[in-house]
Amino acid sequence: MFSIGDLSRRTGVKVPTIRYYEQMGLVAAPERSEGNQRRYSRQELERLAFIRHARDLGFAVEDIRALIDLSGHPEQPCGHADKIAQEQLISVREKIAQLKRLETELERIASCCDGKTVGDCYVIRALSDHALCADEHV
């Protein structure tokens, strides 16, 4: 059995986040010791590691909930899990594309500034007037 602190250290998930996952129903409410301390089993440790990895990959809580539900039925086809992962991949690719647009615009803005004072600063002007941006980046 693990205390909440042990669970936190082993998984890298902060204690308040573990409590949040309990409230959300992603982690089962733990047993309590005689001193009313939370006591977690290896199963909860593994579940929390699963959640942590899924969060690191950017999955939303509802997607994680669905994946956890699916993992409880190992005999079922994995098409739904694949669909969830594909949707997350699409989302990540969209974010990467947006970040590349931001990078391009920031590079352009930073390289256009040849002013010696803030009053002549292209960065400040571009941030004040979106029309000075070369492309739509949001």
User: How confident is the model at residue 122, as a pLDDT?
Assistant: 83
- Distance (Å) of CA 16 to CA 13, 21, 60: 8, 9, 18
> Is 113 among the domain residues?
no
Tokens linked to 97: 């594309």
pTM score, whole prediction: 0.77
Is 48 in contact with 18 (CB distance < 8 Å)?
yes
pLDDT string in tens for the chain (138-residue length): 888 899 999 999 999 999 999 999 898 888 787 777 888 889 999 999 999 999 999 999 999 999 999 998 989 999 999 999 999 999 999 999 999 999 988 888 888 877 678 877 888 888 888 777 777 766
- E-strand stretches of 5-128: 31-32, 38-39
Question: Which residue's structure tokens are 């002007």?
Answer: 125
Cα–Cα dist 126/134, whole Å = 10
CA quadruple 67, 72, 74, 76: dihedral positive or negative?
Answer: negative
Boundaries of domain holding 64: 4-76
> Is 40 among the domain residues?
yes
Closest CA relative to residue 63, chosen from 45, 77, 81: 81
Question: Which residue's structure tokens are 């979106």?
Answer: 130
DSSP 27: S
> Is 54 among the domain residues?
yes
> Is 99 among the domain residues?
no
Tokens linked to 121: 């600063």
> Is 66 among the domain residues?
yes
Q: What is the dihedral of CA 69, 71, 73, 77, to 10 degrees?
A: 110
> Is 94 among the domain residues?
no
> Is 38 among the domain residues?
yes
Question: Which residue's structure tokens are 């004072």?
Answer: 117
Count: domains in the chain: 1
> Is 102 among the domain residues?
no
Is 133 in contact with 126 (CB distance < 8 Å)?
yes
CATH of residue 32: 1.10.1660.10
